[in-house]
Chains A and B, each alone.
Chain A
């Protein structure tokens, strides 16, 4: 059934088509999920929920002035969840033929019969479903064909070449992609809604070279609407600069220092923060802050907000994967936990309502009441004075149960607010429980990394290990 999405002409395709790269209409997809749900209840399921996704697009990468990979994407999948007295059977298929749907539904039901009941499992309550809430605009198909995307990727490579210094820099991959997606969600309560969305990507991976020394740089722009993309010049220039700036990096000896985490990588700390508040972490007590509601998680000048409804937001949704709408809300207010991330089942287990977070967190922002509009990167570096400006995390991570934090990193040494030297080959370590309470300031240099908006984060004191 998906072959139609591939037989659509992709070169010189007419631009007027509003359906972008997709073959199936929202009505087609609604039919498939409705069939899967009806089939499930006919075979004895007490409740069922089905979701189908279709995705399509073109992705082009170039290097050395030549196309490297040209990929036509066209995929689809259907997931069905059946409930038999609290027994949960799930199944998925990439074929949407009736035969394939019949087969996986039967399989889900026969597996469910072998299970034990979990009283909290089941569909969301009828009155929590987003029967008629507003939809969120997310669909802005570019209609770009392979040629146009190739030109966009080539322009990024040209921008890298134009970023000339005494050191060589080349593109290992410059890319441009445009993707559209569409879904339908139905439950056996009669709920059925659909939606469509678009994504535009530009990215560039560079290698700067000085003698035998090589350093990687990367920059990307991912947005829903073509007009929001950063220019090819900017993507190429920043990718080149990030590699070139790391040439000549030195090690750092073991010491304790203040650290400014650059806004482009600071989202990981927000993720660590919010990870403590997920239903799974709270229920399984894989957290250093069990029973988190009302407790202090961060210093008092910090808040975290969630907005599911931001038009063309990267993590927006009119309702979650169970059909429940979220709300604009505070997750953390003045350092105190005000909200968790719950789906229906975790909500029931914790004695709370779903927060509409089945399928993940929505658009989050870390806000500090101390941030002034003038707190750009330079101001933040001055605020730190002397210490580490951390611009890249490599591996390592944090342990949610203990808060133990230890990561490999790279960045720049800063003396009196001035960058003096690129540095690499060290780790930063601490404990999240203390780090969240110790954050001194958040910059106004806000960067959006997927679902998360955050400025650079200043920490007063971290343990560095190096040579």
Chain B
């Protein structure tokens, strides 16, 4: 826990960050140790119509997160739980939880489950840091999956030099090198208690370019309690 402040101190004196510094800074901004957020996802489809989902996200220490869906009515009561590599969905119409694969599409939108429920890129990817001449205020992080269980085989992530790690855009690739999705991070917002991050993530499906999904953070509370009991499989549906 002491390495990150020391890194920031070094950076303040002009030292160039390492790729891992930049990646950890991104993880710290996008996934604080624990938080509770109220979000809305809007999926824009090929025909121009939209589908909206409202949910509450609770992130706990480590790689734990849980989502409660409140809208639309067809998915109200549905929940998702992530604990490390394990992902479950609670289905109210089945009255039980089922295991899910991380790469499955999140509610049919253009995010996948891991995009929403896991942001520990430093654990999942090896990173190299490059300069992108076309974007002098950013670093280009090139990420390569450490294991085949990672959501994407490789990622290009543009993050601001200051504040370090603040994401600007991302590109997500398959193992064959095909561009699968691209993301734009915008509308940086101060949510209080030091939590300043983009409040809007626009994820575009590059295989069907008319499709994209927007994830808006209405609130983000980094002081909300996230006890371990909320991340127990037995707690789903309560």
Asked if A and B bind, the verdict is no
A binding-site residues for B, Cβ under 8 Å:
none
B binding-site residues for A, Cβ under 8 Å:
none
